[in-house]
Amino acid sequence: MLSEHESLDDMDRRLIVATQAGLPLLLKPYHALAEQLGISAADVQSRLTRMLAAGLIRRIGAVPNHYALGYTANGMSVWDVTDTHIDELGTQVGALAFVTHCYRRPRCLPDWPYNLFAMVHGSSRAEVEEKVAQIAALLGVEARAHDVLYSSRILKKSGLRLAG
């Protein structure tokens, strides 16, 4: 399963399962994990260091609720961009400071003509719309249509969960 990827041994997997809900809120969190897993704290730290270096862990950090931070307008802007220009333009849209995620995805015709997705957050819809207008200006005539899907409720936000 992991031949072309980073190889994980059984202990790495147990460490992922032990931390996927969160890092222990204890003065010595790596020692607490070590005790739970029956290995040394140094081993826990070196495994996490290796997974960070390999990109298996993007970062160890806090995941805020956007709404609680005041980002009450969360818009998924979606665009129908000509196939010949999408990679060049997608890279430029992704480079805009306010775009947090930017992907090319398949259209699903006739219901869904959009192939570029760019997430934009703001403290109001007017702020999001102003940012969406900047994307529209960048894409110009290469964007044949677009829409903004605002989130109105977080239904679930647990992150990855491997079976323990």
Footprint (CB under 8 A) of other proteins, residues 101-160: 101-106, 108, 111-112, 117, 121, 123, 147, 149-160
CA 152 to the chain's CA centroid = 19
> How far is Cα 21 from Cα 63, in angstroms, rounded to an integer?
11
Cβ 36 to other proteins shortest distance, Å: 14
Output the smallest distance, CB 52 to other proteins, in A: 8
Footprint (CB under 8 A) of other proteins, residues 7-46: 8, 16, 19-23, 25-31, 41, 45
Residue 139 host element (H or E) = helix 125-139
Listed in sequence order, the residues at least 6 apart from 1 whose beta carbon sits closer than 8 Å to its beta carbon are none
Q: Least CB distance from residue 11 to other proteins, whole Å?
A: 14
CB of 49 to other proteins, least distance (A): 6
The residue count for binding other proteins (CB under 8 A) is 79
Alpha-carbon torsion angle 162, 61, 78, 148, nearest 10: 110
Say whether residue 93 binds other proteins (CB under 8 A).
Answer: yes
Q: How far is the CB of 44 from other proteins (least distance, A)?
A: 9
Using the minimum distance from each CB to other proteins, give the nearer residue, 60 or 133.
60
| 63/137 with CB nearer other proteins | 63
* Secondary structure letter of residue 81 according to DSSP: E
Which of 57, 85, 113, 136 lies at the binding interface for other proteins (CB under 8 A)?
57
Helix axes 86-94, 125-139, angle to 10 degrees: 140
Asked if the bond preceding 64 is cis, omega within 30° of 0, the reply is: no
